[in-house]
C-alpha cells in the first residue's frame, strides 16, 4: 500500500498492468509463431500421406479373368503357362530383347508375373483420388466409376496404397501402376557409397590437420575461412563444378573408358562416380566442420597425458583423440550423408538420367536417385505420378529419419564421459 501511494505521487506513471498485458499478447504471438512452424511440418506430412493412399480406377487391356485356363486363375498358373502367354502376346522383337536381358526360363515367378502385368494385361490408371476424397466423397467416386465403366468395361475401382512392397522391388516403367523405385534406390546407394569413400577420409583428415597440426598462420586461416565459405555455397554451384570437372574434364576416368571399361549403358561421364564425387565435394565442408567440433571437444588433458608419456603426435591422435572424438565424427558424418541423400539440384546438373531401366551395376553406370525420381514424377502433369512421387517421398523420409535417429542414438550413447 505504501509502495502504491509513493508511486501515485511520483513522476513515474503507473503503467505496470498495461505493460504486463502487452507482455501477455506478445507471448501468445511468439508461441503462435512456433506453432506455425510445427503446423507447417504437419501440413507437409499430411499432404504426402493424403496422396499416398486412396481410390484408383485401373483398367487392363485384357481382363485377367478371361485368361483363366481350365478354371485355373491366371495368378495360379505355372511358369510355363505364363511364358507361353508372353510368347503369344509379345512381338518377336520384344521377346528377343527380353531373352537377351535374361532368358525367360531363368526368371523368377515374380519377375514373370511383372512382365505379364506390364506387357500383357497392361494396367492403366484412369483416375485417382486422395485419401481425404476417398474417405469423405465415396459416393461421388462410385458415380464416377460407374460412368467410366461404360467406356471401359474392364475398369476396376480399388483402394490402393501407393507405397507397398512392390514399389521398392520394381524398376521404372512407363505406366504408373507398375512403376517402382528399385533403380533409384540402388542409384542412391551407389552414389552415396562413393560420396562416403571420398568425403569421409578426406574430411576427417582435414579436420585432424586443422585442429591438431595447423599453426596459426595465414595459410591455415585461409583454409579454415575457405571451408566455412564453401559450406555456404549453393548446392547447384557444386553441380556446375561437377559437370565441368568430373563429367567433362575427367570423362575418360569417370566414364571408365580409361580402364578399358565400356559399360553398354553409358557413353559419357554422367555416371554414378561423377555424381558421388560431386556430392562428396558438397558435403566435405560439413564433415570437416562437424569433425573439427568433435575433435575440439576431446579434453586437452588427455593429449597432455599422452605427450607426457613420450608419445608422438600421431600416436596421441590415433590412440586418444580419435577414439574419443569418433562418436561425434560419426554423428556429424551421418547428418552430412543424409543431406547428400536428399540433394537433387547438383545431380540434375551433373546429368542424372531421366529414364533408365537398368540397375546401376558399376561405378560407371548411368544413374538416377530417389530425389531425382521424385522430381521427375512431380513434374509430370498426370496425377498418378504425383501419387508415386508421394510414395517415394515417404520412402526417402523414412530412410532419412532412420539415419537421423541413428545419429541421435550414437550421440546419446557416447555422451561425454569425462
Partner 1 sequence: MNLISPVLETHNLNIYYGDFRAVTDVNIQIPRHKITAIIGPSGCGKSTLLRAFNRMNELVPNTHIEGEIIFEGQNLYGRDIDPVEVRYRIGMVFQKPNPFPKSIYENVAWAARIHGYRGNLDELVESSLTKAALWDEVKDILKQSALSLSGGQQQRLCIARAIAVQPEVILMDEPASALDPIATLKIEELMQSLKKDYTIVIVTHNMQQAARASDYTSMMMLAENTRSGTVIEFEETNTLFTRPKDKRTEDYVTGRFG
Partner 2 sequence: MNYGYPIRNKGLQKKIKPGETVIHVLLFLAGFISIFTTIGIVFVLGKDAWLFFRLPEVNLWDFLTGTSWQPHINKFGILPLFTSTLLTTAIAMTIAIPLGLAAAIYLSEYASQKARKIIKPTLELLAGIPTIVYGYFALTMVTPLLRSIFGANIVEIYNTGSAGLVMGILILPLVASICEDSLSAVPRTLRDAAYGLGATKLEVAIKIVLPAALSGISAAIILGITRAIGETMIVAVAAGAGPNLTLNPFKGAETMTGHIVRISGGDLSYDSIDYNSIFAIGLFLFLITLVLNIISQRIVRKYREVYE
Candidate residues 315, 354, 361, 412; the one interacting with partner 1 per rule CB under 8 A? 315
Tell me the closest approach of the beta carbon of residue 213 to partner 1, in angstroms. 12
Does the footprint of partner 1 cover residue 215 (CB under 8 A)? Answer: yes
Binders of partner 2 in range 156-195 (CB under 8 A): none
Does the footprint of partner 2 cover residue 34 (CB under 8 A)? Answer: yes
Kindly report the number of other CB atoms within 10 A of residue 197's CB atom: 14
Kindly report the number of other CB atoms within 10 A of residue 331's CB atom: 23
Residue window 277-316: x/- pattern of binding to partner 2, with contact defined by CB under 8 A? ----x--xx--x-----------------------xxx--
Task: Select 213 or 261, whichever has its Cβ closest to partner 2.
Answer: 213
Exposure of 282 in the CB half-sphere (CA atoms within 13 A): 33
Which residue carries 506478445 as its cell?
A: 26
Binders of partner 2 in range 46-75 (CB under 8 A): 47-48, 51
All residues at 6 or more sequence positions from 370 whose CB lies less than 8 Å from its CB, including other chains? 181, 184, 185, 187, 188, 341, 392, 395, 396, 399
Does the footprint of partner 2 cover residue 118 (CB under 8 A)? Answer: no
CA distance linking residue 307 with residue 301, whole number of Å: 10
CA distance linking residue 31 with residue 29, whole number of Å: 5
Does the footprint of partner 1 cover residue 303 (CB under 8 A)? Answer: yes
Binding at 319: pick from partner 1, partner 2, none (beta carbon under 5-8 Å per type) = partner 1
Task: Select 83 or 311, whichever has its Cβ closest to partner 1.
Answer: 311
Tell me the closest approach of the beta carbon of residue 260 to partner 2, in angstroms. 24
| Number of chain positions touching partner 1 (CB under 8 A) | 21
Does the footprint of partner 1 cover residue 306 (CB under 8 A)? Answer: yes
182 exposure class (CB count in 10 Å sphere: 0-12, 13-18, 19+) = middle
Tell me the closest approach of the beta carbon of residue 413 to partner 2, in angstroms. 17
Candidate residues 83, 342, 358, 411; the one interacting with partner 2 per rule CB under 8 A? 342
62 phi-psi bin (left φ>0, alpha ψ -120 to 50, beta other):
beta
Which DSSP string corresponds to 327-341?
A: HHHHHHHHHHHHHHH
Give the three cell numbers for residue 9.
505521487
Tell me the closest approach of the beta carbon of residue 197 to partner 2, in angstroms. 14
User: Chain-centre distance of CA 411, in angstroms?
Assistant: 23
Task: Select 69 or 398, whichever has its Cβ closest to partner 2.
Answer: 398
Candidate residues 271, 278, 331, 338; the one interacting with partner 2 per rule CB under 8 A? 338
Task: Select 106 or 219, whichever has its Cβ closest to partner 2.
Answer: 219
Among 142, 148, 146, 147, CA closest to 126: 148
Using an 8 Å Cβ cutoff, are 326 and 297 in contact?
A: no
Tell me the closest approach of the beta carbon of residue 409 to partner 1, in angstroms. 20
State whether residue 56 is helix, strand or coil. Answer: strand
- Stretch touching partner 2 by CB under 8 A, among 58-66, 76-84, 136-144, 220-228: 220-228
Binding at 311: pick from partner 2, partner 1, none (beta carbon under 5-8 Å per type) = partner 1
Binders of partner 2 in range 368-397 (CB under 8 A): 371, 374-375, 378-379, 386, 389-390, 393, 396-397
Task: Select 60 or 373, whichever has its Cβ closest to partner 2.
Answer: 373
Among 267, 264, 48, 63, CA closest to 153: 63
Does the footprint of partner 1 cover residue 320 (CB under 8 A)? Answer: yes
Most distant pair of Cα atoms in the chain: their distance: 106
- Stretch touching partner 1 by CB under 8 A, among 157-165, 252-260, 299-307, 390-398: 299-307
Exposure of 188 in the CB half-sphere (CA atoms within 13 A): 24
Q: Are strands 123-128 and 53-60 parallel, antiparallel or unpaired?
A: antiparallel
Tell me the closest approach of the beta carbon of residue 295 to partner 1, in angstroms. 15
| Number of chain positions touching partner 2 (CB under 8 A) | 88
Binders of partner 1 in range 322-361 (CB under 8 A): 324
- Stretch touching partner 2 by CB under 8 A, among 41-49, 132-140, 167-175, 322-330: 41-49
Task: Select 308 or 381, whichever has its Cβ closest to partner 1.
Answer: 308
User: Order of strands, edge to edge, in the sheet holding 123-128?
Assistant: 123-128, 53-60, 156-161
Which sign, positive or negative, has the C-alpha torsion 237, 344, 254, 230? Answer: positive
Q: Interface with partner 1 by CB under 8 A: which residues? A: 215-216, 299, 301-312, 315, 319-320, 324, 417-418
Amino acid at each position: 500500500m505504501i509502495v502504491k501511494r509513493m508511486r501515485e505521487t511520483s513522476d513515474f506513471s503507473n503503467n505496470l498492468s498495461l505493460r504486463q498485458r502487452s507482455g501477455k499478447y506478445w507471448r501468445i504471438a511468439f508461441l503462435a509463431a512456433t506453432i506455425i512452424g510445427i503446423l507447417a511440418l504437419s501440413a507437409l506430412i499430411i499432404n504426402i500421406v493424403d496422396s499416398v493412399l486412396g481410390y484408383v480406377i485401373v483398367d487392363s487391356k485384357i481382363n485377367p479373368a478371361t485368361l483363366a485356363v481350365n478354371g485355373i486363375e491366371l495368378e495360379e498358373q505355372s511358369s510355363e503357362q505364363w511364358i507361353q502367354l508372353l510368347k503369344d502376346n509379345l512381338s518377336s522383337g520384344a521377346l528377343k530383347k527380353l531373352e537377351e536381358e535374361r532368358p525367360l526360363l531363368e526368371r523368377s515367378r515374380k519377375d514373370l508375373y511383372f512382365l505379364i502385368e506390364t506387357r500383357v494385361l497392361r494396367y492403366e490408371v484412369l483416375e485417382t483420388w486422395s485419401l481425404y476424397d476417398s474417405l469423405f466423397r465415396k459416393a461421388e467416386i462410385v458415380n464416377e466409376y460407374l460412368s467410366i465403366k461404360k467406356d471401359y468395361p474392364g475398369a476396376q475401382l480399388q483402394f490402393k496404397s501407393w507405397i507397398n512392397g512392390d514399389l521398392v522391388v520394381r524398376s521404372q516403367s512407363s505406366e504408373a501402376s507398375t512403376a517402382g523405385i528399385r533403380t533409384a534406390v540402388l542409384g542412391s546407394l551407389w552414389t552415396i557409397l562413393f560420396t562416403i569413400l571420398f568425403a569421409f577420409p578426406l574430411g576427417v583428415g582435414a579436420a585432424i590437420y586443422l585442429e591438431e597440426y595447423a599453426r596459426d598462420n595465414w595459410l591455415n586461416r585461409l583454409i579454415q575461412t575457405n571451408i566455412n565459405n564453401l559450406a555456404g555455397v549453393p548446392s547447384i554451384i557444386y553441380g556446375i563444378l561437377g559437370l565441368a570437372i568430373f563429367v567433362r574434364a575427367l570423362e575418360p576416368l569417370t566414364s571408365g573408358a580409361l580402364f578399358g571399361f565400356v559399360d553398354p549403358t553409358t557413353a559419357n561421364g554422367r555416371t554414378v562416380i561423377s555424381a558421388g564425387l560431386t556430392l562428396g565435394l558438397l558435403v566435405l565442408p560439413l564433415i570437416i566442420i562437424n569433425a573439427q567440433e568433435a575433435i575440439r571437444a576431446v579434453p586437452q588433458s588427455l593429449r597432455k597425458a599422452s605427450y607426457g608419456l613420450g608419445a608422438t603426435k600421431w600416436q596421441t591422435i590415433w590412440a586418444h583423440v580419435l577414439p574419443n572424438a569418433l562418436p561425434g565424427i560419426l554423428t556429424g558424418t551421418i547428418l552430412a550423408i543424409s543431406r547428400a541423400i536428399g540433394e537433387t539440384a547438383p545431380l540434375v546438373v551433373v546429368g542424372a538420367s531421366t529414364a533408365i531401366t537398368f540397375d546401376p551395376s558399376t561405378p560407371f553406370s548411368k544413374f538416377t536417385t530417389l530425389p531425382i525420381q521424385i522430381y521427375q514424377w512431380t513434374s509430370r502433369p498426370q496425377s498418378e505420378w504425383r501419387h508415386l512421387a508421394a510414395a517415394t517421398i515417404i520412402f526417402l523420409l523414412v530412410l532419412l529419419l532412420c539415419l537421423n535417429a541413428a545419429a541421435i542414438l550414437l550421440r546419446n550413447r557416447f555422451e561425454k564421459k569425462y
